[in-house]
Chain A
């Protein structure tokens, strides 16, 4: 088990400097934009924070799902999602920062606007700033707690190889998945759907959940492949990649299924109170991004990952997963940006810099978490199945 002892070395100084520069640039551009166009600045932060928060949450969802289904194959890669989950506190912090921009982002947060709007008045019991902030704190707190518990139990198992850590995580996973469905749905409604407070769709929570799982699984595949290429995770072979590819494929199809369910039912019934959402997104410059969203999140993974070799090839899976991660940005961007801007239909500079800044922060944090611990969960009772995984 000498290889199992291998740990990630410290990050090379060059890479580290680039990442730090990206973070600084992100903060600087965000700061400048905040004075010129606060709505654009806060929108960019909402997209970036939600993006990386959902990647971290997707990683926790992966852990919870593999615990509850008693998966054996995933034991050799589980340090990757565990490390990704350590971004959660920072992601939560960034999300809480959005409360400062509540008036720029959320139309319903202006009491005078609500007073002159019968529909918003009817919703005021739910859509009001104190309750909104309260819900945000509660859901973030719950996720932080569970994310921390999952990782702590797993790391403790390295030392004592006790089975009760696994059993505890299985029980936690059951409770977490139950809570998560509700809390994440609330988060999706609050943070994204209420950007257009007159519009509503019951599937919206599930739509975001599908996207979260897609992004989470794709990013686990990316990090696993990068580590493997660098010579770490020597026990991960094409069978594990095959499984990661299958999950990414499945979630891509699931996302498309939810996408079409929402779009088709609203298109078919053609009720003005619902079609506004899609009308705004299929006009002007948005239209291309709107349809491209489906291509990159569904058509590309579907075509490339459907054949068996497509999932087992490292290079192939990496390319598709990166495409999907780009698609995730587009998907979230399309939920946020058109809501508050009518004049343009593209991605602005601040959107890119903020995204890269938060992304650099994500990489720094996840790398640190990966480097601190053994990449092989030595005490995991399912490790033997992960090491001998064949299909």
Chain B
């Protein structure tokens, strides 16, 4: 990190905090009992998951006939959900890998949760192709391995097999990247743990992290390498998913723009989901100074860009269908926009092209409620995008005699609800057991752009209101653990030193971090 900072830069942690306070604020939610709100959310998610388990059980026992598919529309809800969930995961990898390579330091407070979302979303996505097989107990047939099935091998020319490779690679690399990033924080949790069991679990998971210079050096090298390895995955996974469609000869599916267009759409929907969840998290956990309004703004700006690419792709597809002069291409697109599924098409255009344009206005970008509502609409729109691509291209094929309509059954809707249940159940468990914000990384940027002039302002502010909402949030009138509440920055360091209590931070090598610009 360079020490010279432009005067235009703003602090990434918007309130002055000592390193120890940051540890406390992030770790505390895991160390207290779950709140009522958490239980409500968990029970709702878990119920949805149970519904999903029921629906999947019914269709596994009965067969794929429980879905609304017919001879013309052979892919519909199931594959829509698969592509939707794969897409949700992409923001996590973009934030953790690509923004890391681009030195976007603001990623530090959102990358952990976003990566967790990636893993959970890929888990949800992976379910769909497996249950679509009809006999999911043979799912391992999709993997090529020496077998006793005679000459029967997977078809390596099939994009569905590429999917198997792409998604399993994606899941493995994402999981490793996420876990490696967790190591310093796991050590912090180990050092803070009061019960022997907690200490043993976090201790085992932290792989003997000792916070030494050498450990940090190796950690950072591995992290950079993994970021480099994960970067092409952001592009490859959804490109290959898009090839499930684009390698066909079906108008509406076969078009060369699909790979980059799907990637942009995936990042777009992923950021919408990250925003939805992070806006809730910063509110519930009291992390408004970590996930600041500028973080929200930055994410909306990425959504303008990726939403712009998606809109550009819609326009290009539509134009080229006309430009091709091919009547089948032209029909496929006019049927999308004006046929029986026009409502779905216009929901898609409205949510994905028009909605992100609101983010051009700073007033909307900085209104958390507005961003929250718009981010949900974008998720709806991106789900419909996949539905439109899949169903409208299929339902009126080359033979008008086989034209048909598709409507989902209760089982299909229940399965989608179930995956939402799985996703949120996993996420709620995650925030209970692992730091949802990267403690070590946030510490590294806590002094960023905190300049003397700004510090003076902070001093005045904090002198007037030294305690702010921080203590109330934690429900401890006496501060935390007998230590002093946040003080003006000038005195923080010396006071902390006087207390001589730096042990808990040692796990994250915290005191090695100095404030930039000093």
Contacts and interface: CB of A to CB of B under 8 A. Distances in A.
B247 A269 contact: yes
B257 A203 contact: yes
Contacts of A381: 6-8
A273 B326 contact: yes
A166 B8 contact: yes
B235 interface: yes
B5 A261 contact: no
Contacts of A181: 308-309, 312
In the complex, which range does the number of interface residues on chain B fall in?
A: 35 or more
Interface string A118-159: 111011001000000000000000000000000000000000
A384 B451 CA distance: 14
Interface of A: 69-70, 72, 118-120, 122-123, 126, 163, 166, 174, 177-178, 181-182, 185, 189, 198, 200-206, 246, 253, 257-258, 261-262, 264-266, 268-269, 271, 273, 381-385, 387-391
Interface stretch (B107-115, B208-216, B316-324, B463-471): B316-324
B256 A185 contact: no
Interface in B1-28: 2-8
B248 interface: yes
Contact of B243 (A202, A265, A389): A265
B256 A390 contact: no
Nearest to A201: B256
Contacts of B325: 118-120, 122-123, 198
A265 B323 contact: no
Interface in B232-258: 232, 235, 239, 243, 246-249, 254-258
Nearest to A260: B259
Contacts of B3: 388
Contact of A387 (B4, B104, B248): B4
Nearest to A181: B312
B145 interface: no
Given A178-B308, A390-B2, A70 B8 contact: yes
A71 to B, nearest CB: 9
B80 to A, nearest CB: 21
B156 interface: no
A51 to B, nearest CB: 23
B313 to A, nearest CB: 8
Contacts of A264: 243
Nearest to A75: B6
A202 B256 contact: yes
B6 A72 contact: yes
A118 B326 CA distance: 10
Given A120-B325, A261-B258, A264-B243, 12 more contacts: A200-B324, A201-B320, A202-B316, A206-B257, A246-B101, A261-B259, A265-B258, A271-B254, A381-B6, A382-B8, A383-B6, A389-B2
A70 B6 CA distance: 10
B312 A185 contact: yes
A203 B317 CA distance: 9
Contacts of A203: 256-257, 259-260
B320 A202 contact: yes
Interface string B317-348: 10010011110000000000000000000000
A178 B248 CA distance: 31
Contacts of A391: 103
A261 B316 contact: no
A390 B312 CA distance: 37
B102 interface: yes
Contacts of A246: 101
Interface string B300-320: 000011001100110111001
Contacts of A122: 325
Given A181-B312, A182-B312, A202-B317, A384 B5 contact: yes
A163 B6 CA distance: 11
A70 B301 CA distance: 13
A247 to B, nearest CB: 10
Interface string B266-306: 00000000000000000000000000000000000000110
A388 B7 contact: no
Contacts of B248: 269
Contact of A271 (B5, B249, B309): B249
A265 B246 contact: yes
Nearest to B157: A268
A163 B7 CA distance: 10
B20 to A, nearest CB: 28
Contact of B260 (A178, A182, A258): A258
A201 B8 CA distance: 43
Contacts of A126: 323
A158 B263 CA distance: 40
Contact of B316 (A118, A120, A205, A384): A205
B4 A202 contact: no
Given A257-B259, A384-B6, A200 B323 contact: yes
B250 to A, nearest CB: 9
A139 B152 CA distance: 56
A205 B320 CA distance: 11
A264 B254 CA distance: 12
Contacts of A72: 6
B235 to A, nearest CB: 6
A388 B324 contact: no
Contact of A268 (B103, B104, B247): B247
B256 A388 contact: no
Contacts of A261: 239, 256, 258-260
Ranked nearest first, the 7 interchain pairs of A and B with the lowest CB-CB distance are A388-B4, A202-B257, A122-B325, A203-B256, A119-B325, A261-B259, A203-B257
30 contacts: A119-B325, A120-B325, A123-B325, A166-B8, A174-B304, A177-B305, A198-B325, A200-B320, A201-B256, A201-B320, A202-B313, A202-B320, A203-B259, A205-B316, A206-B257, A206-B260, A246-B101, A257-B239, A257-B259, A262-B256, A265-B247, A265-B254, A265-B258, A273-B326, A381-B6, A381-B7, A382-B8, A384-B6, A387-B4, A388-B4
A200 B256 CA distance: 10
Contacts of A387: 4
A202 B6 CA distance: 42
A385 B259 CA distance: 36
Interface string B133-172: 0000000000000000000000000000000000000000
A309 to B, nearest CB: 15
A353 to B, nearest CB: 34
A203 B246 CA distance: 12
A344 B246 CA distance: 33
A259 B254 CA distance: 16
